[in-house]
């Protein structure tokens, strides 16, 4: 058993089920009739070549419309407690999405500000300390490095304290070392949450995922579901992790060529 089962966040273990997901763009079907589960209290990773519809799938769960005009997304999203998913998700994107006019602290407090709630400054302080930004609370985002900005975004995500966390390639714009550090930080702080991580990096999925779906081909299907052993974040020197990474890279490369041919 992984350490997440002993996590105190038992109330937040919400499983999200997606049934019959369909995405059409410009008259072409990218996927149709896709079913998958985001298991409660675990990290589920969706891996696939770019343009396969990973982001649309995540946005479907988040209740956000597609940013591209001319694309259609549909599908039912439900949770095992029967309540809607919307308003119970925290969202973290590839861009840090920090408001440039707000200090790091005020960015972390953005959610409460938008909902008109009294801001819990002490908690925001504690979270910023936790992600290593204790000294940068009053800095504007422009004064922070890319890694620091994504740390602030992580703190803002944690501040929301939602049972479901949706992450859309949150670490892909970072350098290798910063990325590994942030993966560790996220794994540590989001344990017990229901996390969906969309990524194109097989190593990232293998380090963090309890379950990895590979979305490939057109129309896309889940070719393969991998359940790596051991608790995330997994060791980069683990030979099974590296072996799996080779297999996944092969598979994604094949899927990418097929996508180009079709």
Partner 1 sequence: MRLLRPLVIFIGLIAAWQIAVMLIGVPPFILPSPADVAGALIKRQEVLLGHAGVTLLEIVLGLALGVLFGAFGALVMSYFAPARRWLLPVLVISQAIPVFALAPVLVLWLGFGMASKVAMATLIIFFPVTAALFDGLRRTDPGLLDLARTMNASRGAILRHIRIPAALPAFASGVRVATAVAPIGAIVGEWVGSSSGLGFLMLHANARMQIDTMFAALFLLAIMAVALYFAVDAALSRLLTWQPDTQPSED
- Closest approach of partner 1 to the CB of residue 197, in Å: 16
**Range in contact with partner 1 (rule: CB under 8 A) among 26-34, 75-83, 92-100, 196-204:** 92-100
118 binds partner 1 (CB under 8 A): no
**Range in contact with partner 1 (rule: CB under 8 A) among 76-84, 95-103, 170-178, 209-217:** 95-103
62 binds partner 1 (CB under 8 A): yes
173 binds partner 1 (CB under 8 A): no
161 binds partner 1 (CB under 8 A): no
160 binds partner 1 (CB under 8 A): yes
Strand pairing class (211-216; 43-47): parallel
**Range in contact with partner 1 (rule: CB under 8 A) among 39-47, 99-107, 190-198, 234-242:** 99-107
167 binds partner 1 (CB under 8 A): no
- Closest approach of partner 1 to the CB of residue 228, in Å: 29
The contact set with partner 1 (CB under 8 A) reads 59, 62-64, 67, 87, 89-91, 93, 95, 97, 99-101, 110-111, 113-116, 140, 142, 160, 166
């Amino acid at each position: 058993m992984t350490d997440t089962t002993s996590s105190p966040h038992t109330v937040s273990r919400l499983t999200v089920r997606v049934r019959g997901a369909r995405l059409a763009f410009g008259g072409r079907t990218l996927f149709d009739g896709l079913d998958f589960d985001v298991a409660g209290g675990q990290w589920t990773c969706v891996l696939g070549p770019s343009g396969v519809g990973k982001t649309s799938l995540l946005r479907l769960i988040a209740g956000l419309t597609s940013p591209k005009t001319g694309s259609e997304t549909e599908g039912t999203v439900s949770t095992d407690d029967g309540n809607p998913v919307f308003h119970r998700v925290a969202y973290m994107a590839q861009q840090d999405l920090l408001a440039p006019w707000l200090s790091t602290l005020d960015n972390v407090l953005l959610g409460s500000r938008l909902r008109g709630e009294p801001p819990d400054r002490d908690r925001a302080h504690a979270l910023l300390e936790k992600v290593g930004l204790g000294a940068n609370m009053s800095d504007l985002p422009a004064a922070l490095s890319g890694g620091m900005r994504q740390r602030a975004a992580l703190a803002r995500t944690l501040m929301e304290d939602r049972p479901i966390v949706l992450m859309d390639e949150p670490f892909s714009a970072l350098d290798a070392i910063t990325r590994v550090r942030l993966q560790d930080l996220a794994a540590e702080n989001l344990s017990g949450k229901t996390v969906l991580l969309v990524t194109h990096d097989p190593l990232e999925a293998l380090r963090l995922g309890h379950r990895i779906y590979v979305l490939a081909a057109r129309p896309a299907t889940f070719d393969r579901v991998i359940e790596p052993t051991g608790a995330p974040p997994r060791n980069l020197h683990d030979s099974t992790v590296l072996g799996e990474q080779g297999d996944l890279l092969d598979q994604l490369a094949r899927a990418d060529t097929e996508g180009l041919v079709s």
